[in-house]
Chain A
Amino acid sequence: MTGVRGVSCAVREVRYRYPGAQRDVLQDVSLVVQPGEFHAILGPNGSGKTTLVRIALGALRPLSGSATIGDRPAHEWPRRELARVIGVVPQREDNLFPQRVRETVLLGRYPFLSLWGRERPEDHAAVDRALAACDATDLADRWVWTLSGGEYQRVRVARALAQEPRLLVLDEPGVSLDLRHEMALFELVRGLVDAQQLGVLMITHDLNLAARFADSLLLLSEGTVVASGAPEDVLTRETIERVFSWPVALQTVEGRPHMVPLRQPKESPE
């Protein structure tokens, strides 16, 4: 896995509006992910997080501003070449046909296979490593549609790791994971960042885990950046209450800010 140059991805002052939409879904948003950095994108539903990631990956072209991966505009990357350096775990996917776990993880090796060639031993080795890293080795021979939501999520992360990416993009990976596996996923990702200089871009709703594990947070609201930077600078009580419209208390756990949502007061005194 070593020896491959890291890849940075940069989004600069992008604006985007879906065709036919009334308002911009993103306005003047910038974000740079360097090798060895773990970035988390936070924000309420519909704040533009997934759109930002699609632009960063070149799946959408911004109306203004730029998105680059390495030294090339993101949309100019041939998809196959891009899949060799960036692994993505999208929010949703369906499996049209029945498939075993090992087969679906092997799809992560497809960008490396020649048109008519078979899978090589190193492809199967990468699949085994990825399954082991995600605590999914025992699932390898199961049918995908017999998995629980959390098990399937781990398998999907394993598929992205089988790509042996230099940059990993995850869209709400913690959803439907239990406590142990959610923590294990964050520890795994953090470990890859530290050990292999992996760059990570993660969309998450879990402010606390993002604050604990990520190097930098980007907080979006209605398509604009409310705050970005180190967790303790972004996650203040005032900012969280304003963006999420809910009262919270802020504590410190393991040196990072930790948010606790409060019950809403029944009657305001005024």
Chain B
Amino acid sequence: MKWALLCLLAILALIASVVLGPAAVPLGELLRSDIVWNLRAPRAVLAFLVGGSLGVAGAGLQALVRNPLADPFLLGLSGGAGLGAVLAIALHLSGPWALPIAAFVGALVALGLVYRLGLIGGAALDPRILLLGGVAVGAFAAAITTAIVALADAVELRNAFLWLWGGLSGASWDAVLVVALYAPVPLAVLLAASRSLDLLALGEEPAGYLGADVEAVKRRVYLAASLLTAAAVAVSGVIGFVGLVVPHIARLTWGHRHRALLPAAFVGGGALLAIADTLARTVVAPRELPVGVVTALIGVPVFAVLLRRWSIA
């Protein structure tokens, strides 16, 4: 029943994001419209894939760093991606994929640095240091980004910032194809780790005694969740709150078991981002709100309600 409702919500969200928009497309011409096929449809699908990926990455990272407030972008990835994008513009790299690739590479560099910091205590990955290292690497990248912006011509760099927070306006079928080919591998890795994540919630030592290969699981989960986030930031910029709030909403309904939780977080995250993007495109049409603004405007009140329920329970 709850699965049926969730899938219904996702389908409605996808339909809405194809039907609604600033340009009036008569319902009868929906399937033949260029606007629908080449703008709205790829954008809706991309929003769904990105939102779903962020939901799953958030759920996995929250279990890994043992902090329910962890967000996929907390681990330094947004800072790295922003620096990559600003560098690409400052260096006048051109081409349709220059920004996404630069942002992706920036996120990967940040990921590698944070991962290396997480191993600082020896061979075991320390989730607490991952969290602190992520914040530190993110702040460092943001500082360099700001320095570049301060020293360079502002007009071009404003584009980089807008792009970084700008959401899904660059969506195309090519971008959908790239994400659709890329995301299944880390998603499958996270899904395969779902029982180990259940065990890890007890702490590392108890999880080991219940059969989890703790070190391997921590590495896999961190890398898979970060790679998902890096791809998301490359195609759609930093979109906050999906990866933070969606896992909590899913947990309230599906419980903490990751076998059900991760798929629910995927569908729920996809639906939320498709809805948020539709709102971002339509409420102030013909102008457009950054979709991150909309997810935060929806996500923060929901989160406040959740925190209230948690403190009562």
Q: Mark interface residues in A85-120 (1 if CB within 8 Å of B CB, else 0).
A: 011101011111111100100011011010100000
CB of A110 within 8 A of CB of B209, answer no
Of A98, A159, A163, which is within 8 A of B313 by CB? A98
Q: Is B180 an interface residue (CB 8 A)?
A: no
A115 and B192 contacting across the interface, CB-CB below 8 Å: yes
Total A-B Cβ pairs within 8 A? 76
| Total interface residues in chain A, CB < 8 Å | 33
Interchain nearest-CB distance for A34 vs B (Å): 21
Which of A76-84, A174-182, A260-268 faces chain B? A76-84
CB of A42 within 8 Å of the partner chain: no
Residues of chain B with a CB closer than 8 A to A88's CB: 206, 209
Question: What is the CA–CA distance of A12 and B284 in the complex, to the nearest angstrom?
Answer: 75
Q: Within 8 Å CB of B256, what residues of A?
A: 96-99, 103
Structural contact, B210 and A97, CB atoms closer than 8 A: no
- Nearest residue (CB) in B for A83 is B211
Chain B 250-286 residues near chain A, CB threshold 8 A: 251, 255-257
Q: Would you call B206 and A90 a contact (CB within 8 A)? A: yes
The total of chain B residues at the interface (CB under 8 A) is 25
Given contacts A96-B63, A103-B255, A103-B257, contact A111 B205 (CB under 8 A): no
Contact B198 A96 (CB under 8 A): no
A59 within 8 A of B: yes
Distance in Å from the Cβ of B200 to the closest Cβ of chain A?
8
**In-complex Cβ contact of B205 among A78, A82, A90, A97 (8 A):** A90
Question: Chain B residues with Cβ under 8 A from A103's Cβ?
Answer: 255-257
A244 at the interface (CB under 8 A from B): no
B202 touches A95 (CB 8 A): yes
B211 touches A79 (CB 8 A): yes
> Which chain B residue lies CB-closest to A118?
B259
Q: How far, in whole Å, are A80 and B199 apart by their CA atoms in the complex?
A: 12
CB-based contact B211/A111 at 8 Å:
yes
Q: How far is the CB of A144 from chain B (nearest CB, A)?
A: 10
Contact: B257 with A110, CB < 8 Å? no
**Are B203 and A79 within 8 A (Cβ)?**
no
Contacts of B66 in A (CB 8 A): 96
Complex: how many Å from CA A111 to CA B208?
A: 10
10 A–B contacts from the bound complex (CB under 8 Å)? A84-B211, A94-B202, A96-B66, A97-B256, A99-B256, A103-B257, A107-B198, A107-B210, A108-B210, A110-B212
* 8 residue pairs, one from A and one from B, having the closest CB atoms: A83-B211, A111-B211, A97-B256, A88-B209, A80-B211, A96-B201, A93-B206, A93-B202
Contacts A80-B211, A83-B209, A94-B203 supplied; 13 other A-B pairs, CB < 8 Å: A19-B122, A81-B211, A86-B209, A88-B206, A90-B205, A90-B209, A94-B202, A96-B63, A96-B68, A97-B63, A107-B198, A111-B211, A163-B210
